[in-house]
Amino acid sequence: MTDQTDNATKLCPNCGKPVGERTRGMRKSFCSSSCRLEFRNRSNSEGKVVISLLKVWMETRHASPKSEDPEEQRRARVCKEARREVTKIVRTFRDRDEEAGRPSLVDYVEELLAEGMYDDRTRK
């Protein structure tokens, strides 16, 4: 992984072009407002596809398929199927990104996590 603490070498997570230096305020993450908008729109549309599956997986991830309780077995089955479906969908999203020449999101997400700014969640 590359160290992108210097904005001159930082790459746009949407197109892969270098991000210019910040002029004032927070560091820039995108090379242009159009890239930022395209990235956000794609993230929103992709997120809508997987959010229900992720919530169900999170809710049922400790369910045991070996339980005597039929409801617990059902929850375990749904959990397994939801996770499998999320994996397929996200793999498709990543394949599309690669086909479009978009860079990996590892550096972008690492920066957001380090700054505690990943979306609107609060750390506890």
Pair of tokens at residue 102: 């978009």
Which pLDDT does position 122 carry in this prediction? Answer: 57
Rounded to whole angstroms, how far apart are CA atoms 48 and 28? 26
Query: What's the pLDDT tens digit per position in 2-40?
Result: 444 444 478 999 999 999 876 676 678 899 999 999 999
Question: pLDDT value at position 28?
Answer: 83
> Rounded CA gap, 46 and 37, in Å?
14
Secondary structure class of 105 (helix, strand, coil): coil
Residues 43 and 48: their CA atoms lie apart, in Å, by 9
Distances (CA, A) of 94 to 45, 53, 99, 121: 14, 18, 9, 24
In terms of pTM, does the model score above 0.85?
A: no
pLDDT digits (tens, 9 = 90+) for 40-59: 999 999 999 999 999 999 99
Q: What pLDDT sits at residue 103? A: 94
The predicted pLDDT at position 117 comes to 66
Exposure class string for 77-108: b at 16+ Cβ within 10 A, else e = ebbeebbeebeeeeeebeeebeeeebbeeebb
- Rounded Cα–Cα distance for residues 113 and 124 (Å): 14
pLDDT above 90: residue 84: yes
Query: Could you tell me what percent of the chain has a pLDDT over 90?
Result: 69
Tell me the three state secondary structure of residue 52.
Answer: helix
Share of residues in the chain with pLDDT > 70 (%)? 83
